[in-house]
Amino acid sequence: MTLKLFFFCFAPSFTSSSILSLLLFFLLVHIGFYGQTIDAKKPPVPALIVFGDSIVDPGNNNKLGTLVKCNFPPYGKDFTQHIPTGRFCNGKIPSDLLAASLGIKELVPAYLDPNLTPEDLLTGVSFASGGTGYDNLTARIVSVLSLSDQLELFKEYIGKLKSIAGEERAAIIVSESLYVSILGTDDIANTYFGTPFRRPQYDVSSYTDLVANSASDFYEELYNLGARKIGVVGLPPVGCVPSQRTLAGGITRDCVEHYNQVARLVNSKISNKLEMLSTKFSDPKILYIDIYTTLDDIIRRPFNYGFEVSNRGCCGTGNIEVSILCNPATPPCPDVSKYVFWDSYHPTEKAYKALIGPVIRDYLPRLV
């Protein structure tokens, strides 16, 4: 019997108060039926916790004695209220976009931000530091947070979680959160090819082994600290980044294919290490996430993605400007939407959106 027919048959014998009671009854039944749908819209993980380099550093380097900073214009040109927060971008960065897609929050804050609230901690933070890498020397060269430093801060973070939420809830947040890491580019572009410190000691094969072994040690330690859902983003086509084209791509600023080969080798070795860790531990989800393929395609065929310029950045000449070289004296291009890269090293928010789409579609369901 439908609700309409129910009232047609029985309404004449009802008082106004009994009709009101009946309506309330059906309202409560309706809420009961659809309560599960409401609950299903809750984020699939309680928090997003991020490790890595400048791609996902939302401002930790602001608090460090390093030149690798960007808390000044024109960085943040297209961010909320045009504020330069320390994100190496014109707007939002991948961790922000991922957190929003999960329904957790709009922005993932820096752990070293002095204005963090308890809610910020409960829903996730970023420990990333621009300029760092899997090789601890990479961080030391530019005085930023190494992966070891980031792990120590994560341990401190767990202690803060316990004081805010209690031991039991803190343990649930740690084990059920999504962990994402993005780093490795600076190991190749800066430490190995950009300085004289590693090449006298390591050939490409042995250095990529060092990077992969360091990555494996880091993710095993992260697992030991309670992480169970870990997404590891691989290296991009390092040799096609504008600054590397300028420094090593010759007069025509071509992609440096040798750098790209090394990036692919690192990716392969890290992917193999992650498979070994997955075999070693029975309960984690440790997943290698390939962005090399998508970004390489965006760079080589920008028009297919709505871009026009992919060999230089929007800031200044776009050939070399990054960090302190991208500043108010080096104004940005008139239309950033045409550019894959914001500065000579980091993509624009629009490019990040093009990159994060396949990650959300192809990898996120396997992690959460």
Closest CA to 359 of 41, 177, 95: 95
Other Cβ atoms less than 10 A from the Cβ of 209: the count is 15
Q: Is 258 a catalytic residue?
A: no
Exactly one of 53, 177, 323, 346 is catalytic; name it.
346
Q: DSSP states of 318-359 as a string?
A: SSS--GGGSSTTSPBPS-GGGEEESSSSSB-HHHHHHHHHHH
Element spanning 62, H or E: none
Length of the chain measured in residues: 368
315: Cβ contacts below 8 Å, ≥ 6 apart: 74, 321, 322, 326, 330, 332, 333, 342, 343, 344
101: Cβ contacts below 8 Å, ≥ 6 apart: 356, 360, 364
Report yes or no: 242 and 309 within 8 Å, Cβ to Cβ.
no
Give CA–CA dist 186/53, Å, rounded: 8
Instruction: Find the Cα–Cα–Cα–Cα dihedral 9, 13, 19, 21, rounded to 10°.
Output: -110
Exactly one of 54, 146, 214, 310 is catalytic; name it.
54
In three-state secondary structure terms, 231 is strand
Q: Is 30 a catalytic residue?
A: no
Residue 352, both tokens: 């990040």
Give CA–CA dist 243/251, Å, rounded: 13
Exactly one of 310, 323, 343, 344 is catalytic; name it.
343
What are the DSSP E strand ranges found in the chain? Answer: 48-52, 178-182, 229-233, 285-289, 309-313, 339-341
Other Cβ atoms less than 10 A from the Cβ of 359: the count is 21
Give CA–CA dist 159/166, Å, rounded: 10
Residues taking part in catalysis: 54, 343, 346
